Structure 1
Amino acid sequence: MNSRRVFLQNVAMASMAIPFTNFKLYEEKTLRVAICGLGSYGTRVAEAIQSCSRVKLTGVISGTPSKIKKWQEKYNIPDKNCYSYENLDKIKDNPDIDAVYVITPNALHHVQVIRVAKAGKHAICEKPMAVNAKEGQEMVDACKQANVKLLVGYRMHFEPNTLEVIRMRNKGDFGKVLFFQGLCGFKIGDPSQWRLNKQLAGGGSLMDIGIYAINGARYMTGEDPIWVTAQESKTDHVKFKEGVDETIQFQFSFPSGATASCLSTYAMNNLDRFFLNGEKGFAEMQPSTNYGPIKGRTNKGELDKPHTIHQAVQMDEMAAIIFDNKQAVVPVNGEEAVKDLKIIDAIYEAVRTGNKVSLKL
């Protein structure tokens, strides 16, 4: 009887232990996010969050009451989690919100991110993070002082084919990197939109689409540039007023001796291509930065990583960065964004002066 009892106890204990082999040692925390700015890209992010495993949309911040009402109905957001731009500081007292994703016109990022930080919430900011490096650094400093994280919406830093090219470069499949080309552009429409307003956008095509080539040159080569030259072309002085660039070509040199040639434009379609050339091979991506699917090939064959919803992957990864201190393969922190802003400042200076401008990032 005793042996039978012991046998049954052992079987019971074993059967109880089986399900726990699939359990994690801790429960993953869910990042509860409020979106600040309910425009087209804010809408895209909100939709992507619905397929996230670690992120939940719990609040909204907008200057348009009718938008707030529609979002409340669609995403079941209670009144207590809805804010205007005037009272967003009150999120400080809201335990339902861990982070705020700022998706407003570029010139508003600076003040809004600082307000979010002072309210004690983590800040996620769309790129470009600010209209110049000075403002960007002030945002980084404010978040550090408040002991909150500042992350930037570099969705391509999590895109599978992009990461595969970076992996291959790091492995040495392309040999010594020699050259990068980044072509980014489209024909912009409505001339009254905020992207063509210097006070709201901080510039023109460079701030909106050119930043992809700037950031891409850095993560594709694995280096930061040491100088830049740049030239501007403008054919429509009505749509592209003073301080709003239509087309800018810019060139980099890197510490290794590699070079880059890039184009940013609001005047041409079908420009979304990255090309990386090395002594032993190459990588070509087209499209390289749009919402996908990203396509490309290397000297070893086609890139075939699965298509993902960029914003969903980005948000889940950011939850891991915030809660688990996960390190992204390519950083998405505020310091990374300040480097891009320093380069943007230098490109505009090179256009203005016609000189080669040195960079210290």
Structure 2
Amino acid sequence: MASRREFLQKAGLSTLAISLPLANSFGKTNEIKNDQVLRVAIMGLGSYGTRVAEAMKDCKRAKLVGVISGTRSKVEAWQQKYGIPAKNCYNYENFDQIKDNPDIDAVYVITPNSLHKPYSIRVAKAGKHVICEKPMALNAVEGKEMVDACKAAGVHLLIGYRMHFEAKTLEVVKRQREGAFGKTLFFQGLSGFSIGDPTQWRLNRELAGGGSMMDIGIYSVNGSRYMLDEEPIWVTAQEVKTDPVKFKEGVDETITFQMGFPSGAVASCLSTYSLNNLDKFFLNGTKGFAEMQPSTGYGPIKAWTNQGPIEAEHITHQTTQMDEMAAIILDGKKPIIPVDGEEGLKDMVIVDAIYKAAKIGEKVMLG
């Protein structure tokens, strides 16, 4: 717990970051040959940061070259395990110095949600590309600040939407866009699991910005948009809390929410920290359907349609994600489903509306 307190104390310094010379620009990165590797530093060496690091061992276009952490023992362990040079190791107080390190191209921010904005902006001001884990921020206002800061710095802002590159997901999206299911009119997204340790940061409002919606529920928000290929125009929502001790004020346990789309399609979704076996997407149209379960877990993903199962090789999601993000940054590649800051901001606008709708008990219009 001492390291976490130090972590949060140091976070307060983040807003004091000053503008620094740029090390990269969109123009330069788009000129790079497609055999170049994106050199990445991971910020936040917890369980998910470790998962990304392990996945990057198999990347062809991305390489782990640096670390940023407030815990010296973790830095030392990663140095030894991944062969990271001392000059590429930073803490939360001094990582602005990466501006002077030509061996780091991008930083993947994998910290508690409340630190995504301040640390991403500091990375951008240091002239490095930003990859930020989802949700990109605590709310849409913060998300817009991140987008604006990265644009001003001339660096990419990408959000860690690994499912946007997953083969079976992309096949369902392709078929939907080709009209294989007819006019798609309904999406169901069930996102949840039974969360454990009540003292973890995900159940701390100051760190997480909420509860299940900010962690697992955003998959259904995001999934409804790319599965229906539309942006919602209204939301309604209802919150249920069965354990007010574990899920304190401002930390949502379960939220059911609905969204309406311009075509007339509707989405019905569930976000919860109290139930397992809920990782499911269902898309229904006038000519067919697609179903995925599990739909967003680490895999393998299982998917089928009215025509039968969808088959594709399972590749570790984070491996594919980092290679594809390298292609976006280095080659200017345009992904089928966007992963840029604007994409993350759209989700934050919807999440804000869901929380508002649950609070006031009324439909909230978007746009």
Q: Distance in 2 between matches of 1:105 and 1:191?
A: 15
Corresponding position: 1:95 with 2:102: yes
The equivalent of 2:243 in structure 1 is 236
Corresponding position: 1:47 with 2:54: yes
8 Å CA contact retained: 2:34, 2:331:
no
Q: Distance in 2 between matches of 1:222 and 1:77?
A: 41
Q: Distance in 1 between matches of 2:33 and 2:315?
A: 27
Cα offset, 1:305, TM superposition: 1.2
Match of 1:350 among 346, 357, 366: 357
Cα offset, 1:27, TM superposition: 5.3
Letter in 2 for 1:116: V
Q: Distance in 1 between matches of 2:151 and 2:228?
A: 29
Q: Deviations over 1:243-278 (max 9, x none)?
A: 000000000000000000000000001110000000
3-state DSSP of counterpart to 1:180? strand
Match of 1:60 among 63, 67, 90: 67
Letter in 1 for 2:361: G
The equivalent of 1:199 in structure 2 is 206
Match of 1:178 among 173, 178, 185: 185
Q: Deviations over 1:128-153 (max 9, x none)?
A: 00000000000000000000000000
Structure 1 unmatched runs, 5+: 1-24
8 Å CA contact retained: 2:241, 2:252:
yes
The equivalent of 2:233 in structure 1 is 226
Match of 2:143 among 120, 128, 136: 136
Moved runs in structure 1, 4+ residues, more than 2 A?
Answer: none
Cα offset, 1:165, TM superposition: 0.3
Q: Distance in 2 between matches of 1:170 and 1:358?
A: 26
Match of 1:279 among 286, 303, 313: 286
Letter in 2 for 1:30: V
Q: Distance in 2 between matches of 1:89 and 1:347?
A: 35
Q: Deviations over 1:182-231 (max 9, x none)?
A: 00100000000000000000000000000000000001000110000000
Q: Deviations over 1:269-298 (max 9, x none)?
A: 111000000000000000000000000110
The equivalent of 1:147 in structure 2 is 154
3-state DSSP of counterpart to 1:35? strand
The equivalent of 2:119 in structure 1 is 112
Match of 2:169 among 138, 150, 162: 162
The equivalent of 2:366 in structure 1 is 359
Cα offset, 1:308, TM superposition: 1.1
Percent identity between the aligned chains?
70
Q: Distance in 1 between matches of 2:301 and 2:252?
A: 27
Number of equivalences: 336
Corresponding position: 1:258 with 2:259: no
Cα offset, 1:171, TM superposition: 1.0
Corresponding position: 1:332 with 2:339: yes
Please, what TM-score do these two structures have when normalized by structure 2?
0.91
Q: Distance in 2 between matches of 1:305 and 1:324?
A: 26
Q: Distance in 2 between matches of 1:153 and 1:359?
A: 24
Match of 2:302 among 269, 275, 295: 295
Please, what TM-score do these two structures have when normalized by structure 1?
0.92
Cα offset, 1:26, TM superposition: 4.6
> How much is the aligned-residue C-alpha RMSD, in angstroms?
0.8
Q: Distance in 1 between matches of 2:261 and 2:354?
A: 15
Q: Distance in 2 between matches of 1:89 and 1:101?
A: 14
Q: Distance in 2 between matches of 1:329 and 1:337?
A: 15
Classify 1:96/1:180 alpha carbon distance in 2 versus 1 (closer, same or farther; 3 Å).
Answer: same
Structure 2 unmatched runs, 5+: 1-31
Q: Distance in 1 between matches of 2:48 and 2:85?
A: 22
The equivalent of 2:320 in structure 1 is 313
